């Protein structure tokens, strides 16, 4: 009743899980990631305990195949389940139960797997595998490309409703997930997920611009600010882009950027006034 992908990004130690389903808020049940541990998807007759119990087992050093087999052997409904695990070594274990609804299948690659059930055609899973294996771009872009490939082949027989993507932090981070975005109910959940990823990346670029500016690297700061504008035209981000330009002393560029913001949302004039009370560099505006 769902299709999904799990993967380990080569060289980074980062795990990802992405999913689309004609079911409300699929993120609540299907995708699981944990920094330094692995990823899980549980679907079909989904049981979220495969997520947390699988993570606990793999965090304790049990490999993906053994962890999955132990849970399946204790599950009276194992034939209804479709589950995939990937562990810290990048080893993948997948189960598609005999009672998963046609079309149901999975494909395992090097450090990744794609799987689905109640699909429109038997081409959905192979298309996901082909696209993910050959796609270029960032890790999350490749994962979303696999979801798009599934939809191009008909996807979930029932249609679309929700989607999610979770990408773990690097193994040395204390954060469980670096990207955690979901679309609970939408007529184009994958399209909306892509939009959210672009907004998320724009905020990251803004943060990197501030970091570069604090370090005195204006060249890097300008580069990051340029990418902010190319990713989204949200007024909030445009405002902070103008503020960053002002901090760099690029007053003409800052004025131009802020004037556009004030035309779109006049209340940001008051925001700037209040910021200027604590940052004299902004008092010129």
Residue 127: name the closest of 99, 109, 148 by CA.
148
Does the structure show a pLDDT above 90 at 232? no
Q: Are the beta carbons of 115 and 106 closer than 8 angstroms?
A: yes
Lowest-confidence segment of 128-137, 211-220, 276-285 by average pLDDT: 276-285
Q: What is the mean pLDDT of residues 142-147?
A: 98
What whole-number percentage of the chain has pLDDT above 70?
A: 98
Q: What is the mean pLDDT of residues 221-248?
A: 92
Does the structure show a pLDDT above 90 at 283? no
Q: Write the CB contacts of 5 (distance below 8 Å, at least 6 apart in sequence).
A: 16, 17, 18, 19, 41, 112, 113, 114, 115, 128, 132, 143, 146, 147
- 162 pLDDT band (50/70/90 cuts)? very high
Q: Are the beta carbons of 13 and 156 closer than 8 angstroms?
A: no
CATH of domain 200-282: 1.25.40
Mean model confidence pLDDT for the chain:
94
Does the structure show a pLDDT above 90 at 233? no
Tens digit of pLDDT for each residue in 54-106? 999 999 999 999 999 999 999 999 999 999 999 999 999 999 999 999 999 99
Q: Write the CB contacts of 155 (distance below 8 Å, at least 6 apart in sequence).
A: 3, 20, 119, 120, 124
- The pLDDT of residue 282 is 84
Residues of the chain with CATH 3.60.20.10: 2-187
Of residues 31 and 279, more confidently modeled: 31
Using the structure block, give the residue that is written with the tokens 């046609």.
102
Lowest-confidence segment of 3-12, 15-24, 222-231 by average pLDDT: 222-231
- 284 pLDDT band (50/70/90 cuts)? confident
Paired residues of 215 in beta bridges: none
Q: Write the CB contacts of 7 (distance below 8 Å, at least 6 apart in sequence).
A: 15, 16, 17, 39, 86, 111, 112, 113, 132, 139, 142, 143
- The pLDDT of residue 176 is 58
Does the structure show a pLDDT above 90 at 150? yes
Q: Which two tokens stand for residue 192?
A: 């909306």
- The pLDDT of residue 55 is 97
**Spatial separation of the C-alpha atoms in residues 281 and 259, rounded to whole Å:** 17
Q: Which two tokens stand for residue 140?
A: 């999350």
Q: Which two tokens stand for residue 88?
A: 């810290």
Of residues 231 and 159, more confidently modeled: 159
**Spatial separation of the C-alpha atoms in residues 95 and 118, rounded to whole Å:** 15
CATH architecture assigned to 2-187:
4-Layer Sandwich (3.60)
- The pLDDT of residue 230 is 86
- 141 pLDDT band (50/70/90 cuts)? very high
Paired residues of 179 in beta bridges: 167
Q: Is the peptide bond before 103 cis (omega within 30 degrees of 0)?
A: yes
Does the structure show a pLDDT above 80 at 177? no
Lowest-confidence segment of 56-65, 226-235, 263-272 by average pLDDT: 226-235
Q: Which two tokens stand for residue 211?
A: 């970091």
Which CA distances in Å does 91 have to 13, 72, 88, 110, 138? Answer: 13, 18, 7, 8, 21
Residues of the chain with CATH 1.25.40: 200-282
């Amino acid at each position: 009743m769902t299709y999904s992908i799990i993967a380990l990004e080569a060289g980074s130690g980062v795990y990802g899980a992405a999913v689309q389903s004609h079911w409300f808020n699929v993120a609540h049940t299907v995708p699981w990631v944990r920094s330094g541990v692995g990823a899980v998807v549980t679907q079909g007759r989904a049981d979220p305990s495969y997520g947390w119990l699988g993570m606990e087992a793999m965090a304790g050093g049990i490999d993906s195949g053994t962890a999955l087999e132990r849970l399946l052997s204790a599950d009276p409904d194992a034939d209804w389940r479709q589950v995939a695990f990937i562990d810290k070594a990048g080893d993948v274990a997948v189960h598609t139960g005999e009672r998963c609804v046609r079309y149901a299948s999975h494909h395992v690659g090097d450090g990744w797997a794609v799987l689905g059930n109640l699909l429109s055609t038997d081409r959905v899973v192979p298309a996901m595998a082909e696209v993910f294996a050959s796609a270029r771009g960032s890790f999350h872009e490749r994962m979303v490309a696999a979801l798009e490939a599934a939809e191009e082949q008909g996807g979930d027989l029932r249609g679309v409703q929700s989607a999610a993507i979770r990408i773990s932090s690097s193994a040395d981070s204390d954060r469980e997930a670096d990207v955690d975005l979901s679309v609970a109910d939408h007529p184009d959940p994958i399209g909306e997920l892509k939009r959210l990823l672009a907004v998320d990346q724009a905020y990251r670029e803004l943060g990197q611009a501030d970091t570069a500016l604090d370090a005195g690297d204006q060249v890097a700061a300008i580069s990051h600010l340029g990418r902010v504008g190319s990713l989204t035209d949200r007024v909030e981000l445009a405002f902070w882009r103008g503020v960053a330009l002002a901090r760099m002393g690029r007053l003409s560029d800052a004025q131009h950027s802020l004037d556009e913001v004030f035309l779109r949302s006049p209340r940001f004039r008051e925001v700037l006034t209040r910021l200027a009370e604590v940052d004299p560099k902004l008092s010129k505006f």
